[in-house]
Amino acid sequence: GRIEVRVYGAKELVPAFEVFDVVSRGTAQMGHGAAYYWKGKNEAFQFFSAVPFGLTADEQNAWLFHGGGMELWEESYRPFGVVPLAAGNTGVQMAGWFNREINSLEDLKGLKMRIPGLGGEVLRRAGGTPVNLPGGELFTSLQSGVIDATEWVGPYNDLAFGLYKAARYYYYPGWHEPGTTLEAIVNRKAFEALSPDLQAIVRAACRVANDEILVEYVARNNDALETLKNEHHVDVRRLPDDVLARLRALSEEVVQELADSSPEARRIYDSFRRFRDKVFAWTDISERAYLDSRQG
């Protein structure tokens, strides 16, 4: 074919958190990850992956592709010589695996948890200690007690990682990642060296992957959740309302402070907020109203 892609697994070329740098330098032409992993480059990147109590997968995709988000994302990555492409979405995640019960806000204090991005800062303000670990280290860190809790994705991935063997309680909902965008990042020089039709093919392939990954998660999480509950007898619990309310209030603080951190962050946040406010109004009388009525 006219484009050949050689895929390397995690850590085959570089450690997980160095993917952005490797693509930026051109050592690799393309990588896959999520924008919150590169927040050390620019805190505003986090708007393009997941915002606590923010947009669902459909809402996030709508903002990116029809609400101006994609243009802002490309602008943010341009100084690093990288082209971002949405290439997957997890949908609403689980809150995570815990080796202690979460019955009140007090139970978050001193909790050492693997949780990246803005959710990690929210946990810190709630009294916990966020830790950023790559996926390959989660099981051993949780099992050995290096961390007390971890979030990963949802039942499908969590079952494959065997996290049910290392923690007692599986909490929901995933307040911190309601619709996490996964990204393909392409070295800008390598991308611009492609002919226009090949550039369009790369963009189209990532757009298909963006949709396919989301619907595959929806399909596979169902069976995985049944397996976790029925075969492995996992204790699935909802976070208490007062805990969620406090996390929501802290999330607003964290996001507002991020918005105030730079003119660029403010531009991205203003776009995000305007779209969020409009789409929430529609979601309330469409998706939410339907789901409430379906419950009976």
Phi, then psi, of 234 in degrees rounded to 5: -70, 140
Please indicate whether residue 296 or residue 154 has the higher confidence score (pLDDT): 154
pLDDT at position 113 is 99
Q: How is the chain split among helix, strand and coil, in percent rounded to 5?
A: 55, 15, 30
pLDDT average, residue stretch 158-183: 98
Instruction: Dump pLDDT digits (tens) for 36-46.
Output: 999 999 999 99
The answer, yes or no, to whether residue 142 has pLDDT greater than 80, is yes
250-283-211 Cα angle (round to 5):
95
pLDDT the model gives residue 50: 97
Could you read off the pLDDT of 84-129 as tens digits, one per residue? 999 999 999 999 999 999 999 999 999 999 999 999 999 999 999 9
How high is the pLDDT of residue 86? 99
Question: Token pair for residue 244?
Answer: 């969620």
pLDDT (tens digit per residue) in 55-69: 999 999 999 999 999
- The predicted pLDDT at position 105 comes to 97
Instruction: Look at the block and give the residue holding tokens 């697994």.
Output: 9
Q: For Cα atoms 279, 282, 286, give the angle at the middle one, nearest 5 degrees.
A: 130
Give 216's pLDDT tier (boundaries 50, 70, 90).
very high
Taking a C-beta distance cutoff of 8 angstroms, is the pair 176, 95 a contact? yes
Position 25 confidence tier, pLDDT thresholds 50, 70, 90: very high
Q: State the average pLDDT over residues 251-261.
A: 98
Instruction: Give residue 1's pLDDT.
Output: 76
Averaged pLDDT, 261-287: 97
Per-residue pLDDT at 11 exceeds 90: no
Nearest to 128 by CA among 143, 141, 147, 142: 147
Radius of gyration, alpha carbons of the chain: 19
Neighbours of 279 (CB within 10 A): 19
Show me where the domains of the chain are located.
Answer: 96-176+228-249
| pLDDT at residue 10 tops 90 | no
Res 24: pLDDT: 98
The pairing of beta strand 30-33 with beta strand 82-89: unpaired
User: CATH number of the domain at 96-176+228-249, please?
Assistant: 3.40.190.10
pTM over 0.75: yes
Hunting for tokens 């590169």 — which residue is that?
38
| Side-chain half-sphere CA neighbours of 265 within 13 A | 16
Q: Is the pLDDT of residue 187 over 90?
A: yes
Position 230 pLDDT exceeds 80: yes
Instruction: Give the tokens for residue 104.
Output: 């009140």
- Which residue blocks in 134-262 are alpha helix, DSSP H? 138-144, 155-160, 188-192, 196-230, 241-259
